Structure 1
Amino acid sequence: MFTLVASISCSVAVSVLLKIARSRQIDVAQAIAFNYVMAVTLTVLLLNPDPQGFIHNPTTPYWVVIALGLLLPSIFLVMAKAVKHAGIVLSDAAQRLSLIIPLIAAVLIFGESLQGFKLLGILLGLAALWCLTLGSKQVDSSPHPHAMHWLLGVWVGYGVIDVLFKQLAKSGAAFSSSLLITFSLAGVLLFIWLLSQKVTWRLRNLYAGLLLGLLNFGNIYFYIRAHQQFPDNPTLVFSAMNIGVISVGTVIGAIAFKEKLSRSSLLGIGLAICAIIALVPR
């Protein structure tokens, strides 16, 4: 169970780091850029990718790779805004609810039919998202007027990224190589953008970014390891990861950051957990 606990801890810790960034005078964009330096390094050291095979594979969908390279740093920035204005609790819940986006895409794009628990899970998830965005207006004493928009951005962004990674997997591309190329592209594009903005580089942003990259990669790595340790029980990994992040995020947000939750927010969190249970692979 260590791998599951580690993955959940890393995921929530990313939100915590984004939450305290402003109070520690950390430039989030710079931190995200350096995050990819750490992520690329760890991918090479721990996952043994084969970038040449990936690049020269004629079936590699390069448009997906480019889209991921643009979306990965963008959604990090959106997540930072959501955590800042809507809080850790609602942002983590919105991120976890993004798992219903691939199911919606399967119906709208690929013509698959939905029934039973999958349909129930999508309906519960959409209801949960509506409650979370409604409750985001009452997160603190001075709520941001666009908090709900950042939450919707988190939901859509992570959902689209999930769809794109699934498209990469269908193309036959190795997961480790896909991570390496997309992390590298995302980092290069973000550094180019920062250089064009003539930002003032700070050492604290480098340290924060390396820590962010360690946590971000740790979430992915330990999640993969958990599936490897429980090959016959993916349901355990799926449900524990998603429900665990929402539950731990709720506790930390309420205790450490005194995040206030309205009735709509609490209902949304409850519906989100019910949606995840309904969507558990059977």
Structure 2
Amino acid sequence: MIDLALSVLSSTLIFVAFKLFDVYKVQTLYAIITNYVVACLVGLFLYEGNVDVAQLTSTSWYWGPIALGVLFITIFNLMAKSTQVSGVSVTSVATKMSLVIPVVVGVAVYKEELSLLQIIGIVLALLAVYLSSQKEKGITINRKDLLLPLLVFLGSGIIDTSIKYFEEEHLTDQEIPIFSSMVFGCAALTGLIFIGIKSFKTPLRVNFRNILGGIALGVPNYFSIFFLIRALRSDMLNSAAVFTLNNVAIVMLSTILGILLFKERLRPKNWGGVALAILSIVLVALF
């Protein structure tokens, strides 16, 4: 449970960092790529073994970080585009609702069992995510704009499911730091290739503010994945419970910090979402 709590805290600090990007005019794309480089270096620092490229490429999971790294950058850009086209609320709901995918996979593929109260808790968690995310007057979306949120939903769910797959089938406790590091390293490489191509049209400018923003984002970003994988290895909770608690607790804590740090104002349905989040956490964790 400590690992899960630390993963939630780390993920929530990512939210705080993104909010501060607006305040200090940090360019998100460049900070994101810097953050992946920083996260990769943190993982290498924590890895106790020798970093042997030949040995790493001979592991059964070496292709995972490559695929996940590409997915990380792709989904980030889709989230940014979806936010611009469909709105913050729609994108937020699509991202957090994706917890359905790893929950279903956990039950169907890994034969995890859920009690009736846990199932009720997961349903309440989805409702809590929806209500908490409605910071605008209402969620409206044109049918033609459904593709972007749908891709964000599927992509986010695939990332979580893939992390569960590698944790279950391939990784040892000692390999978690280097696996996490390689995921971020591959994401950084993909991002650098992306901005390298983009720089042909728009010259690349190094900005110290973007670098600082990337450092502030990179450290909690690394630990959000590191502690999530460790939480999935725990025998206390199955993966369905872990993903549900992780997503709902992030929404709840982010909402609370938004009020305390950034003076965000919540509507009654947002408070209802927070209350449902607390109830769903109790049902999923204790039953």
TM-score, scaled to structure 2: 0.71
Q: Give the gaps of 5 or more residues in structure 2.
A: none
Residues 15 and 94 (structure 1 numbering): CA distance in 2 closer, same or farther, change over 3 Å? farther
Counting matched residue pairs gives: 270
| Other structure's SS at 1:137 match | coil
Instruction: For 2:127 and 2:206, locate their aligned partners in 1 and report how far apart those are by CA, in whole Å.
Output: 43
Compute the displacement of 1:104 (Å): 1.7
Amino acid at match of 1:276: I
Instruction: For 1:243 and 1:201, locate their aligned partners in 2 and report how far apart those are by CA, in whole Å.
Output: 37
Compute the displacement of 1:17 (Å): 1.4
Residues 150 and 25 (structure 1 numbering): CA distance in 2 closer, same or farther, change over 3 Å? farther
Residues 251 and 150 (structure 1 numbering): CA distance in 2 closer, same or farther, change over 3 Å? farther
Partner of 1:137: 136
The one-character-per-residue Cα deviations of 1:9-45 (angstroms, maximum 9, x if unpaired) are: 4332211111121332211111011111111111111
Q: Give the gaps of 5 or more residues in structure 1.
A: none
Query: Mean Cα displacement is larger for which, 151-160 or 11-20?
Result: 151-160
The reply on whether 1:44 has 2:75 as its aligned counterpart is no
The one-character-per-residue Cα deviations of 1:132-152 (angstroms, maximum 9, x if unpaired) are: 45x24328xxx9979x99887
| 1:177-216 correspondence to structure 2 within 5 Å | 177-198=178-199, 199-216=204-221
Partner of 1:73: 73
The one-character-per-residue Cα deviations of 1:74-133 (angstroms, maximum 9, x if unpaired) are: 44456678899648xx95x87666544311234566787755234223322333344345
Partner of 1:161: 159
RMSD after superposition: 4.2
Compute the displacement of 1:160 (Å): 2.2
2:58 to 52, 56, 59: 56
Instruction: For 1:276 and 1:82, locate their aligned partners in 2 and report how far apart those are by CA, in whole Å.
Output: 29
Residues 154 and 270 (structure 1 numbering): CA distance in 2 closer, same or farther, change over 3 Å? farther
The one-character-per-residue Cα deviations of 1:130-178 (angstroms, maximum 9, x if unpaired) are: 4345x24328xxx9979x9988776654432121011112332332232
8 Å Cα contact 1:15/1:83 also seen in 2:
no
Residues 33 and 55 (structure 1 numbering): CA distance in 2 closer, same or farther, change over 3 Å? same
The one-character-per-residue Cα deviations of 1:237-279 (angstroms, maximum 9, x if unpaired) are: 9698666544432222123323232233222233233333333
Instruction: For 2:249 and 2:103, locate their aligned partners in 1 and report how far apart those are by CA, in whole Å.
Output: 21
Partner of 2:268: 263
8 Å Cα contact 2:8/2:224 also seen in 1:
yes
TM-score, scaled to structure 1: 0.73
Residues 82 and 276 (structure 1 numbering): CA distance in 2 closer, same or farther, change over 3 Å? farther
Residues 77 and 252 (structure 1 numbering): CA distance in 2 closer, same or farther, change over 3 Å? farther
Instruction: For 1:20 and 1:145, locate their aligned partners in 2 and report how far apart those are by CA, in whole Å.
Output: 28
Partner of 1:19: 19
Instruction: For 1:2 and 1:193, locate their aligned partners in 2 and report how far apart those are by CA, in whole Å.
Output: 37
8 Å Cα contact 1:128/1:268 also seen in 2:
yes
In percent, how many aligned pairs have the same letter?
26
8 Å Cα contact 1:54/1:177 also seen in 2:
no
| Other structure's SS at 1:60 match | coil
Instruction: For 2:217 and 2:232, locate their aligned partners in 1 and report how far apart those are by CA, in whole Å.
Output: 23
Residues 260 and 82 (structure 1 numbering): CA distance in 2 closer, same or farther, change over 3 Å? farther
Residues 216 and 172 (structure 1 numbering): CA distance in 2 closer, same or farther, change over 3 Å? same
| 1:238-277 correspondence to structure 2 within 5 Å | 245-277=250-282
Partner of 2:122: 122
Residues 259 and 144 (structure 1 numbering): CA distance in 2 closer, same or farther, change over 3 Å? farther
